[in-house]
Amino acid sequence: MTKFRFMHTSDLHLDSPFKGLSSWNTDLAARLKDAAFKSFRKMVDICIAEQVDFLIIAGDIFESDNKSLAAQLKFIAELKRLSNKGIPSYFVCGNHDPVESWLDIIRLPENVYRFTASEVGHYTYKKDSKPVADIYGMSFGESAVKENLALKYRIKDNQAPFSIAVLHGTVGRAGSHENYAPFKVSDVKARGFNYWALGHIHKRKVVNEKDPVILYPGNPQGRDFGETGAKGCTLVDVDSDNRIAVRFIPVQFIRFEQLAIDLGEEDKTDSLADKIQRARNNIEDYDDDVSCILRINITGRTPLHSYLNKPGETEQLLAMFNEGQLEHNIFTWIDQIRLNTSPLIDISSIQRGNDFASEIIKIFEKYENDSKALMEIIKRANEEITSPVFLRETAELNEQEQKEILEKAKWMLLDQLVRES
């Protein structure tokens, strides 16, 4: 058998609107929107540099069925670059870009193959005029496909030595994604395919390591804090004995991460910036050439607690850290700073006392251990306080957020009592 290699990607979500970002910062929103296109362009560059035999895209090329003409033309231009190098592309359409939403006025370049939604189709990739791989696929005809499409995949007669199934769907738990085209590993294991090129789930995951390989490459560019971690595509090498080796290739331009910073007993404010930089540099698979958007959670018992928790302090810190960042090609933008610090107070000593502070701790402990009582006091506060800001902030608090507010209130009060005593 002839050895070959291909690139497997999915969920490009080109032209993603990144709703809400423009209200934070219009320049940041523009950088994010462009990142999805840049990551795909980088992927095409890698396909050419690595001399892949073909590219597979397992659906959701665009963000919505209202994709812009410009977005489609940019996508086609990249596929044309591959075609000009003799590299064909094969893709299915997913729930975000079903076949019916594609513009008929867009002509696919030579060597670009889009699977239909009417049946499982297949194309044979040939190398030196020899059949090397049969590529099977079926697109979504509409946005919500609940049928088990995997059961429709069957290898035809006179097959090539290697078979690939391209499917946009859900195997196992869908998590935060819709449960579209759901199937089980047992549905596909005995169907004779060597590799299942999946799309739809944005987290990189090897579902089955061999016989067959079943793999989600994840999306190549994260779009929010639900999509943290290194993002990229999967390079697949198949040797002359049909053995498969997969390699993750990062292509993202902007990375989302949530960092925890411990200020335990720290008494100097200038250490905060250093701690953030160290935490960022220690991110798994950290890359100096990738910009970061961060959410910072600051914890620890520290003398800085009262300074950090002054009204408006976090907003000023954000402005300071972000100043001038977007003027650079590679930037670090802090989206949010959450404070969960506590003052450097010996709470056990206060608990042993008989004063007002010890009674306050007992009251807080009651609500910490009784979720219903906590919900009731928040409900009473909503009825008595008419401030629109307060009502908006407390309208949809989950249990964890309620407890975080309670914890902050406890430390604010104790800190004030201890400093005044």
Per-residue pLDDT tens over the stretch 81-138: 999 999 999 999 999 888 887 767 678 999 999 999 999 999 999 998 899 999 999 9
Mean pLDDT (whole number) for 392-407: 70
Q: Is the pLDDT of residue 73 over 60?
A: yes
Average pLDDT over the chain, rounded to an integer: 87
Q: Does 24 score more than 90 pLDDT?
A: no
Q: Is the pLDDT of residue 376 over 70?
A: yes
**pLDDT average, residue stretch 24-48:** 89
Triad 195, 198, 203: Cα angle to 5°: 125
Average pLDDT over residues 329-336: 92
Q: Where are the domains of the chain?
A: 4-250, 253-344, 346-421
pTM: 0.83
Q: Residue 152: what pLDDT?
A: 95
184-225 pLDDT, tens digit per residue, is 999 999 899 999 999 999 999 999 999 999 999 999 999 888
Q: What is the pLDDT of residue 395?
A: 62
Strands 244-250 and 232-238: antiparallel
pLDDT band at 388 (very low <50, low <70, confident <90, very high): low
pLDDT given at position 12: 94
Confidence of residue 355 (pLDDT cuts 50, 70, 90): confident
Is the pLDDT at 22 greater than 50? The verdict is no
d(CA 66, CA 228): 26
Task: State the Cα torsion 276-281-282-283 to the nearest 10°.
Answer: 90
CA 298 to CA 336: how far, in whole Å? Answer: 11
The Cβ of residue 283 has, within 10 Å, a number of other Cβ atoms equal to: 17
Q: Is residue 220 within 8 Å of residue 251, measured between CB atoms? A: yes
Q: What is the mean pLDDT of residues 12-36?
A: 74
The pLDDT score that the predictor gives to residue 80 is: 97
Q: Does pLDDT of 343 surpass 50?
A: yes
Asked if the model's pLDDT at residue 401 lies above 80, the reply is no
What are 236-279's pLDDT values in tens digits?
999 999 999 999 999 999 999 999 999 987 888 888 889 999 99
Give SS3 for 251.
coil
User: Is the pLDDT reported for residue 280 higher than 80?
Assistant: yes
Model confidence at 42, in pLDDT bands (50, 70, 90)?
A: very high
Residue 17: per-residue pLDDT: 63
- pLDDT for position 99: 84
Cβ neighbour number for residue 18 with a 10 Å cutoff:
19
The pLDDT assigned to 346 comes to 66
Query: Which residue, among 195, 123, 210, 128, has the nearest Cα to 159 in the 3D structure?
Result: 123
Residue 14 DSSP code: B
Whether 12 and 217 have beta carbons less than 8 Å apart is answered as no
Q: Which fold has domain 4-250?
A: Purple Acid Phosphatase; chain A, domain 2 (3.60.21)
**Confidence (pLDDT) at 417:** 65
pLDDT at 391: 59
Whether residue 235 is predicted with pLDDT greater than 90 in this model: the reply is yes
The pLDDT of residue 244:
97
Give the model confidence (pLDDT) of 149-161 as tens digits. 999 999 988 789 9
